[in-house]
Structures are given as structure tokens and as C-alpha cells.
Amino acid sequence: MNIREELEKREERELSSYATKASLTKGRAVPETPDFIRTCFMRDRDRIIHSKSFRRLKHKTQVYIAPDNDHYRTRLTHTLEVSQISRTVGKALNLNTDLIEAIALGHDVGHTPFSHTGEEVLNKLVPGGFRHSENSVRVLTKIEQSKRGAGLNLTHETLQGILYHSGLDREDSEYNTLEGQIVRVSDKIAYIQHDIDDSVRAEALKIEDIPKEYLDILGYGHSERISTLVMNLVQNSRKNFDGGNYKISLSPSINEALKGLRQYMFNNVYRGSLCQLERERAIHVVNYLFNHFERNYEELPEFYLKIAQGEGIKRGVADYISGMTDNYCTAIFKELVLPRSYIKISR
């Protein structure tokens, strides 16, 4: 028996009966010889961490575009916070933390530059729309290249968890594993709380501005709110399991408080006056680049040019732009708009 088989036996012996076992995976698009040491979900995690799309997250915006303070979250630090929260919940529920980590680390690799602003622009320009969760799967199965084919050739369970990670009240028990459901809720726990923290740092928000009806339930401090949400998610999910309802969820009162807090952030921060000017500038940049490369698609890098020729120009342009970091997107815009003598850029 090799080490991977030992680990799979350990999962079968020690994990909950309703956990997703690596030995029972639905497999990969392209069959592979199993690893000697790692389970299939461990391999998924490692492939994502070593991918270019994962590394680019460090220069993709979370909320505040191009902040001059190193303490603001980026898409990468958000991903790490989601992973940490998710693994804590998964460990407490005795589920498969390797699968949880793979889903969490890959869930946002399809995000655009300039956060959801870039996503909203592409959603209007791409036939059929553009959703970052779907694009994350596309990035991992097509854009990321490897000798294996099918992109990184991740397991069905990891890709499903990434595809269905969006939405707070999604009824996904039929098509998402419990591990995937954990990442979905943990994503909301993470971004709402750390966006509050960043907004206070940016002086766009004061804690006392937030309605007391939410803070009285969730807590007034950053760590207190996360602790409340994680504890409730674990306890309520255990209650669900005991009643034969295999679903990851917050209790109704806590869930309503989180939803209220999320709506408050949308109304006062994400769509607020401080972010609005930067949003307008970002919309202009993404629109300009999309229109430029659609008209001049032969200027696309060779990889994306082949996509444009095979799947349509808009698809190739969307793949190119969505993979850009904020910095690279801005640099390309400057290269196209400003006099070339003023520009120093290396591709």
C-alpha cells in the first residue's frame, strides 16, 4: 500500500460518513495515474497554487482600486482568508479539508481586473454574459495550459465547488458537496467582514454608521463578527446533519443579519461615493480595451488570438482582459492611449 492509499484509508476511517472521500471521486476529464503520496484533492490544491492565474490574484483588486496602503486586501489575501475560514469550519464538521482548500484557493481565479466593476463591464459586452465563477472554471479547464490537457485537469468535485461558490442563499445541496457549500458561505463571511475593515481604514465608513441591529447580533469587532459567524455556521450545520438535512447553513437570525450587513455595504460602500469615481475610471479603461482589441483582434497575444479565431473575437478578448491584473490592465491602456515616448513597459 502506498502513502496515498494510506491517506485514503484514513479518510474513510476518520472523516464523517457524509464527507466527500478522495477514493470516491468522480474523477477528471482526462484520466491520470494516481499520485504515490497525494490524494486527488491534494493534487488539485497544489496545481492551483502553482498556476499563473493564482499568482496574478496578488495584483487584482478586492474593493479599493490601486490603494497606496499595503494593508488593504487584494483578491489573493481574500482567497487566503476564505481558505482559512473554510478549513476551520470543515475541520469542525469532520469533512474533507483537502477538497475545501482546493475549492477555496481556486474560487476567484476567474476574476477580472478592478474587482466586480470589470466583471460588470464584461457581462454587458460578452454574448451570454460574464460571471466570474464560470470564468474561474474556464480558466482552470482551458486557459491554464499543461501537458495533461483539459487545463489543470482538476477533479469534478473541485470544479463543481468553484462553479457554485457564488450566492448567499443558494439551494445547492443537490449539485454541490458539503465542502463546496462551506466555501460558498465562508466566502461571504470573509469578504463582508474584511471589506468593513478596509472601509474603516479608508475612512469611508465608521463602525457607528452601521445599523446596530446587525452589530448587536454579529458583534462590533472584526474578529468578534467572524467568530460569531463561524461558530453559528458549525453549530447550525451540525443541527442540520442531526436532523438528516445535509446542508451547510447559518441559523435564520444570523443569516438575516449577515444579509442586512451585506446590503448595507452594497448601498453605502460598494456603490458609495468614495468608490464611484474609481469605478467610472475602471469602467472606461475596460470598455476602451475591449473595444480596441475587438476592432484590432490581430494584436491579441498568440494564445488569445487562437481563441478569438476558434470561439469568436469577443470570447478571445474577454479571456485576455479578464486575466489581466489591475496594474497590467492600466499599463496596456496607457500604452494604447498616451504618446509612446512617455511609456516604459515590458510585456
Residue 46 CB coordination number (10 Å): 16
pLDDT of amino acid 315? 98
Residue 28's beta-bridge partner residues?
155
Tens of pLDDT, residue by residue over 158-173, are: 999 999 988 666 665 5
281: exposed, middle or buried (Cβ count in 10 Å: 0-12, 13-18, 19+)? middle
DSSP 8-class letter at 266: I
Q: Which of 330, 335, 303 is nearest to 319 (CA)?
A: 303
Residue owning grid cell 446587525? 214
Domains, the chain, with CATH or none: 3-272 (1.10.3210.10)
CA 80/CA 139 separation, integer angstroms:
19
**Mutual orientation of helices 313-322 and 273-295 as an angle, nearest 10°?**
140
336: exposed, middle or buried (Cβ count in 10 Å: 0-12, 13-18, 19+)? middle
Tens of pLDDT, residue by residue over 175-205, are: 689 999 999 999 999 999 999 988 888 888 8
pTM of the model: 0.94
| C-alpha cell belonging to residue 210 | 452601521
DSSP 8-class letter at 345: -
| C-alpha cell belonging to residue 68 | 497606496
Tens of pLDDT, residue by residue over 212-225, are: 999 999 999 999 99
pLDDT of amino acid 276? 79
CA 109/CA 137 separation, integer angstroms:
8
> Where does residue 51 fall: left (phi above 0), alpha (psi -120 to 50 degrees), or beta otherwise?
beta
Tens of pLDDT, residue by residue over 255-277, are: 999 999 999 998 888 877 767 77
Tens of pLDDT, residue by residue over 59-83, are: 998 876 666 667 788 999 999 999 9
pLDDT-wise least confident of 87-96, 109-118, 293-302: 109-118
Please list, residue by residue across 190-223, b when 16 or more beta carbons sit within 10 angstroms of its beta carbon and e when fewer do: bbbbbbbbbbeebebbeeeebeeebbebbbeeee
CA 86/CA 68 separation, integer angstroms:
29
Name the E strands within 90-245.
Answer: none
CA 274/CA 63 separation, integer angstroms:
11
Distances (CA, A) of 222 to 34, 89, 208, 266: 42, 18, 13, 18
Name the E strands within the chain.
Answer: none
